[in-house]
Homo-oligomer: A and B are copies of this chain.
Amino acid sequence: MYFPQVAIIGVGLLGGSVGLALQRAGLARRVIGFGRREGSLAQALERKCITDYTTHLDEAVHDAGLVIVATPVEQTADFVAAAAKGCGPGTLITDVGSTKDSICRSADAALAGGAGTWASFVGSHPLAGSEKTGPIFAKANLFDDRMVVVTPTENSRPDAVEQIDTFWQKLGAKTCRMHPAEHDAAVAITSHLPHLVASLVAAITPEELLKLTAGGWQDTTRVASGDVELWRQILLDNRPHVLLAVEKFATVLASFREALEQADGAAIAQLLEAGKRTRDALGS
């Protein structure tokens, strides 16, 4: 796998890390970053996440063999569609969005008329975020041993799906495949719910009590430092699944509250035990 030219649309933490990782893997000669803010692009260039940059999308994608869309999720589908129409039919396009169903539906719809003439898209979600943002935190090893969920649909070209799988593996990641909606239901539990719960625990803690926090509070709330706008978009985009996850959580919270009101030590222990069993199953 080798691309004379790769375009990265949005060179933040993830886009920048893709740039570093694919150069580390020797997958490309030119890595063109596209963005709207030249300051951020210049920073990405200085950190060698990219080899060139442009603020004109067409320039970035026209000769690219691979396009990675790494923008906030609300803009992803539009950039996928615009990129697909600006490059050759053999070009592969993927993204790094934390939600997949709406992105893949919109991209499929936008590209439906262009089979054979436009590039093809396969969605990806590398489970490798951070509460940090920006190319300044980009790392060549961000994807090492991380899981990337690749989310083909009935419209995906099978060879494109294979290549996107291979691409992430070359970047050091493990991959698995899920349907976009199945992915969104899963990450509502494994990522979006933990994020909002962390935010709410932090939100109700008065600042004057921060001196009384220790590892427990610090770990439990760490992700609450994440970028508000990115997460607003993610939570809104995955609304139905996040609401189901919140409901599930609210139900066990109510059980816990009842057990505590009744000083029912056995029920409290049972809930703690269920959490410990799952947490221990993961390890560190």
| Copies of the chain in the assembly | 2
User: Which of B202, B204, B205, B263 is close to A236, meaning CB atoms less than 8 Å apart?
Assistant: B263
Tell whether, in the assembled complex, residue A202 and residue B278 are in contact, meaning their CB atoms are under 8 Å apart: yes
From A33-41, A51-59, A78-86, A220-228, the one touching the partner chain is: A220-228
A196 CB–B CB distance under 8 Å: yes
| A141 CB, min distance to chain B CBs, angstroms | 14
| A215 CB, min distance to chain B CBs, angstroms | 7
Interface residues on A, range: 35 or more
Give the residues from 194 to 211 in chain A that come closer than 8 angstroms, CB to CB, to chain B: 194-207, 209-211
Q: Report Cα–Cα, A190/B203, bound state, in Å.
A: 11
A161 CB–B CB distance under 8 Å: no
Q: Please give, as numbers and ranges, the residues of chain B lying within 8 Å of A186 by CB-CB distance.
A: 209, 212
Tell whether, in the assembled complex, residue B219 and residue A222 are in contact, meaning their CB atoms are under 8 Å apart: yes
Tell whether, in the assembled complex, residue A194 and residue B190 are in contact, meaning their CB atoms are under 8 Å apart: no
Give the residues from 112 to 170 in chain A that come closer than 8 angstroms, CB to CB, to chain B: 127-130, 146-147, 149
User: Which of B217, B223, B275 is close to A200, meaning CB atoms less than 8 Å apart?
Assistant: B275
Tell whether, in the assembled complex, residue A236 and residue B252 are in contact, meaning their CB atoms are under 8 Å apart: no
